[in-house]
Amino acid sequence: MYLGRYTLGDWVTLKVITRNTSDVPTAPSAAPTVRFYTGSGTTVESTSMPPYEKNIKTGLFILEHFLGSAFAVGQYVALVEETVSSSALKQLYFFEVVASGNNNGAYLNIHYYKAPQSPYIVGLPEDGTLENRKNPRA
Amino acid sequence: MPRLHIPTFAEGNDGTLYCARGDRNIQRWDGLAAAWIDAGLTAPVNAVTMGTTSTGLIYGNLYAYQRYVALDGRVSNLSPVSTELVIAGVTKTITNVTNATPIVITTSASHGFSTNNRVKISGVIGTRSANGIWLVTNITATTFSLQNSSGNGTYMGGGTVRQGVSQIDYSNLGDASSDTRIYKRQILRNKDGNVNVFYVDKELTNLATTTSSSTNDEDDLGEAVVLLGVNGEDLNVTRHAEPPNYKKVIINHYSRLFAVVDAPYKWGGVAVTNASTTVTGINTAFTSVMAGWELFVNGDATTSYTVSSVNTSAQTLTLDTAYGGTTDPFALYELRPARSATGLDSREERRTLYYSESGLPESFNLNKGVTLSEDHEAGEMTGLMPIQTRLYVLFENRIYRLAYSNEPADGDSVEASWRGCVNQRSWSIVEESAYIMDRQGIYIFAGNYYEPISDAIQPLFERDTKAKYQINWNHQENFFSVHDPRTETIRWFISLGCERFPRWALRYHYRIKQWCLEEYPFAVSCGALGDLSGVPQLYCGATARRILALGHGHLDGIPNSTLGTIRGTATASTILSISDSTASFASDSVGFPVQITSGTGAGQVRIISSATATKLTLVEPWATLPDTTSKYQVGGIRWKYRTGWFRFLQSGQREVRGMELMIRPTSLESYMAYRKCLDNSDTAALEQVSASYTKANGLQMTSGEGDVLIQTTKATGLFKHDTDAHRGQDSDGIRYVRYEYEGVTNAEGHQLRNVILHGVLA
């Protein structure tokens, strides 16, 4: 499945409904795993998919994955693997990362900090790294 | 990587900046250090082990603590106390003192001293020069001489001689070298007979060393450290704990730092196994601060498990008791902060606020939190709001005032309003009044009353599925407000669509009490008021790690020095690009918005993902493919102004109907247009012209279209368009008119100076 175009710092969303061989939504034996590959086949990141509204939707798993420092502009493949009723199943998702974003993501909050020697704009972007930035005109 | 909580920043009275995030330690930065570090100091965990060496003047029933000290003098709590060290020593009664050189002392019983032992003599009357600390020599069983002594009077009686140990050996200090916050370690010990006042016996800057020794006797000990005050108040034992690391809101109020609002964690899922104490995270980012929190599984709010430890690399939790539920390889869960040490469960903890010691923003006595009474109507606590000397605790549906004089824990909380606040960032203080957003709307709060002010935009707040715009409360954590004193406006950034971060702002002019709705080309996730060249300036954080100076310049994101072509007419396009064969686009246009201002596909805005000299490639595809009629603008800011509905004059006389517009002329071409709507219709009325033409005054009409283009470069800046239609008093014709003006800025701003409507009732 083609997921679309993203920019660095976006969140790519994978949705999986695990099904048995009769195509009936069925809970897997463990949470599906996801591995992200570059277009050339290099593994970028891997994780597991958490359940979503499991009391209402059988077999629904949704992963929101941050396109952080491990990603760059290019084509990517997400391989989802799950085991349902002892059958190992795989699904592929494709997406593209295009320029205009940033690995750090969006700022969650900023603060104008007038330190004694110089004013700064400090902020916390989505990658969790506190930053102290300085505008020479500020 | 999971999503993070929205952090808060607060500055201490000394200018140190703090950041609270709710799932890790509060951090500090002083503007000078290379990096942020954890605030506060962790108390040493090891109790000091004490031993003795040789004979000397140290004696008594002794105890020791250790504590850490930062470079700026901040101290940690004390370590656990050592076990008691009893140094009985030797005490003998003096029966004679010679008035000679050297002085010879006689004791009532055998003293057991050896040459060069140090002894302390006190209480001698007459030969007073014998009192003091001496090395002894010329030993017999009951006499000894004081080296280098000389009598100064005849002995008249009294006196004791005492000997203890010469050195105390300290061990089990623990290696503290890995904690960069610590500058030195202090070892404190008491004097015989007093267990409330301890003294600095040793200071060690080598934090790796785990042993030390001291030959200080009571007279040599350093600074006194009092444990409890005269009224039993804790002065140094638990007073200097680190700020609570599970609160995500901090504010500075009257030299204290306050910390509130728990940050429950439920990102991802967990695998739980019946009868096992191990819980494995699924796409989680558990942090070490979650030890001690309560774990709830699959929505069962009645059964919780305390997390005894967290393995952050393996993303596993260890519970203090085995999981009693059904094994579930992918369970939903929630971790809630709790503090078993003070007996507060997670329900009480989330109603509790903590505060630092006055003037010590990194010293929190966590035994002195203020737990507000449970109010089922209040909803969750969302923040703290100081207005002058008053401090208000914000909930989703209520505001409480925390009234105290010296110690917040001794104060009272009083309900102040039946309105609440969405989150800590959704209020702004202007002239001692707070402008606050809650789920019902926006209101002014002045401490003893509140006044709704959002009637004009109330449909946004109501659950009306037919409304064109509605606030998406699912993302209310990301909403925020910013006050712009320059324009005397407050903006509340909100989500109207499915986007997680706000892309819209409700802008309120608090002088003229007017609202407008702003839309941004990309998400704006946070804001702060600062200054730029000495003038107040709003800064906004956005996606792609951008920080924007709001209202500064007239193009989104484009500095004037790197313009290139930013306006023109398309010569070709594809689903993901637009080309202009005559253009010279700047290569660093990436990330900027380009919009179609007129012609086919007008109104579409897209973000540029790459640029060549003549072609812009886009992140998202066009909905309507631009063609050679399409004019584009890079970085332009689209604005729209709409009048209210006006009723035409129905006098029966011939009336002039129309409008007169005055703008500030621009030197660069840019898009500006107006349209009129009639009789409550949102659709523009078509201009009744047989052919497209441009009026001499710069208005451009197109046959079959409702939009009239305005030539902004017209030197007069005056545009007039009148018709002379009229209706009699009783005829059933057009009754109402409304004008809409819109534009897209080029590198100059647009300014509407005057709009006059003719032929309408004022």
The boundaries of the domain holding residue A57 are 2-98
Give the per-residue pLDDT at B116. Answer: 87
The strand ranges marked E within B441-523 are 441-445, 450-452, 480-484, 489-494, 504-509, 514-519
Q: What is the mean pLDDT of residues B649-654?
A: 75
CA distance B48 to B82: 5
Q: Are residues A133 and A92 in the same domain?
A: no
Partners of residue B4 in chain A, C-beta under 8 Å: 108, 124, 126, 128
ipTM above 0.90, yes or no: yes
| Chain B nearest C-alpha distance from A37 (Å) | 17
Q: Are residues A92 and A122 in the same domain?
A: no
Inter-chain CB proximity A107 and B547 less than 8 Å: yes
Q: Are residues A76 and A115 in the same domain?
A: no
Give the per-residue pLDDT at B10. Answer: 97
Q: What is the mean pLDDT of residues B699-720?
A: 89
Q: Which residue does chain B place closest to A135, by CA atoms?
A: B532
What 3-state class would DSSP assign to B349?
helix
Give the per-residue pLDDT at B617. Answer: 95
Highest-confidence range of A100-104, B106-110, B188-192, B488-492, by mean pLDDT? B488-492
CA distance A35 to A47: 7
Residues 591-620 of B with CB under 8 A from A: 591, 607-610, 617, 619-620
- B248 pLDDT more than 80: yes
Q: Which of B619, B554, B609 minimizes the C-alpha distance to B585?
A: B609
Placement of tokens 């007459």 in the chain: B126
Q: Are residues A20 and A83 in the same domain?
A: yes
- A136 pLDDT more than 60: no
Q: What is the pLDDT of residues B460-486, one digit of tens each?
A: 998 776 777 889 999 999 999 999 999
Inter-chain CB proximity B332 and A106 less than 8 Å: no
Per the CB < 8 A criterion, the answer to whether B520 and B504 are in contact is yes
Could you tell me if B526 lies within 8 Å of chain A, comparing CB atoms?
Answer: yes
| Chain A nearest C-alpha distance from B26 (Å) | 12
Q: Are residues A138 and A88 in the same domain?
A: no
DSSP designation for B31: S
Phi, psi at residue B694, to the nearest 5°? -115, 125
Give the per-residue pLDDT at B725. Answer: 64
CA distance A78 to A71: 12
Suggest the residue from A17, A26, A57, A107 to mutate for an interface test with chain B (most B CBs closer than 10 A).
A107
Q: What is the mean pLDDT of residues B2-13?
A: 93
Partners of residue B622 in chain A, C-beta under 8 Å: none
Q: What is the pLDDT of residues B258-283, one digit of tens each?
A: 999 999 999 999 999 999 999 999 99
CATH number at residue A61: 2.60.40.1220
Q: What is the mean pLDDT of residues B84-105?
A: 92
| Chain B nearest C-alpha distance from A33 (Å) | 9
Partners of residue A29 in chain B, C-beta under 8 Å: 329
CA distance A35 to A92: 10
- Domains of chain B, by residue range, sit at 49-87+167-226, 90-163, 264-336, 419-549, 560-636, 640-758
CA angle B285, B287, B293 (to 5 degrees): 110
Which residue among B332, B526, B549 places its CB closest to the CB of A51? Answer: B332
Inter-chain CB proximity A127 and B425 less than 8 Å: no
Per the CB < 8 A criterion, the answer to whether B167 and B213 are in contact is yes
Inter-chain CB proximity A138 and B537 less than 8 Å: yes
Residue B762 banded pLDDT, cuts 50, 70, 90: confident
Structure tokens at B694: 């441009």
CA angle B682, B683, B684 (to 5 degrees): 120
Partners of residue B541 in chain A, C-beta under 8 Å: 106-110, 123, 125
Give the per-residue pLDDT at B738. Answer: 93
| Chain A nearest C-alpha distance from B528 (Å) | 6
| Chain B nearest C-alpha distance from A107 (Å) | 5
Pick from B446-450, B593-597, B627-631: least confident:
B446-450
Could you tell me if B542 lies within 8 Å of chain A, comparing CB atoms?
Answer: yes
Give the per-residue pLDDT at A80. Answer: 97
- B339 pLDDT more than 80: no
Q: What is the pLDDT of residues A16-63, one digit of tens each?
A: 999 998 999 999 999 999 999 999 999 999 999 999 988 888 999 999
Inter-chain CB proximity A109 and B6 less than 8 Å: yes
Q: Which residue does chain B place closest to A128, by CA atoms?
A: B4
Q: What is the pLDDT of residues B121-156, one digit of tens each?
A: 999 999 999 998 899 998 899 999 999 999 999 999
Q: Which residue has the higher pLDDT, B406 or B569?
A: B569
Q: Are residues A118 and A65 in the same domain?
A: no
CA distance B373 to B347: 11
- Tally A–B CB contacts below 8 A: 179
| Chain B nearest C-alpha distance from A27 (Å) | 10
Residues 186-245 of B with CB under 8 A from A: none
Q: How far is CA B240 from its chain centroid?
A: 21
Give the per-residue pLDDT at B536. Answer: 92
Q: What is the pLDDT of residues B156-199, one digit of tens each?
A: 999 999 888 989 999 999 999 999 999 999 999 999 889 999 99
Q: What is the mean pLDDT of residues B508-529?
A: 93
Structure tokens at B639: 């604005």
Q: Are residues A67 and A32 in the same domain?
A: yes
Q: Are residues A20 and A70 in the same domain?
A: yes
Give the per-residue pLDDT at B172. Answer: 97
Q: What is the mean pLDDT of residues A83-101?
A: 93
Superfamily classification of domain B90-163: Ubiquitin-activating enzyme E1, FCCH domain (2.40.30.180)
Q: Which of B500, B36, B590, B610 minimizes the C-alpha distance to A106?
A: B500
Suggest the residue from A108, A114, A131 to mutate for an interface test with chain B (most B CBs closer than 10 A).
A108
- B342 pLDDT more than 70: no
Mean pLDDT (chain B, rounded): 91
Q: What is the pLDDT of residues B421-453, one digit of tens each?
A: 999 999 999 999 999 999 999 999 998 889 999
Q: Are residues A46 and A79 in the same domain?
A: yes
Q: Are residues A110 and A84 in the same domain?
A: no
CA distance B286 to B23: 8
Percent residues over pLDDT 70 in chain B: 97
What 3-state class would DSSP assign to B156?
coil
Tally the domains of chain A. 2
| Chain A nearest C-alpha distance from B415 (Å) | 30
Give the per-residue pLDDT at B24. Answer: 92
Say if strands A87-98 and A2-7 run parallel, antiparallel, or are unpaired. parallel
Inter-chain CB proximity A50 and B283 less than 8 Å: yes
Could you tell me if B8 lies within 8 Å of chain A, comparing CB atoms?
Answer: yes
Q: Which residue does chain B place closest to A133, by CA atoms?
A: B547
Residues 425-464 of B with CB under 8 A from A: 425
Inter-chain CB proximity A98 and B19 less than 8 Å: no
Residue B560 banded pLDDT, cuts 50, 70, 90: low
Whole-model pTM?
0.88
How many Cα atoms are found within 13 Å in the side-chain-facing hemisphere of B684? Answer: 18
Inter-chain CB proximity A30 and B271 less than 8 Å: yes
Neighbours of A138 (CB within 10 A): 20
Q: What's the burial of B761, exposed, middle or buried (CB within 10 Å: 0-12/13-18/19+)?
A: exposed
Give the per-residue pLDDT at B156. Answer: 94
* CATH number belonging to domain B264-336: 2.40.30
Give the per-residue pLDDT at B596. Answer: 94
Could you tell me if B315 lies within 8 Å of chain A, comparing CB atoms?
Answer: no
Q: Which residue does chain B place closest to A12, by CA atoms?
A: B1
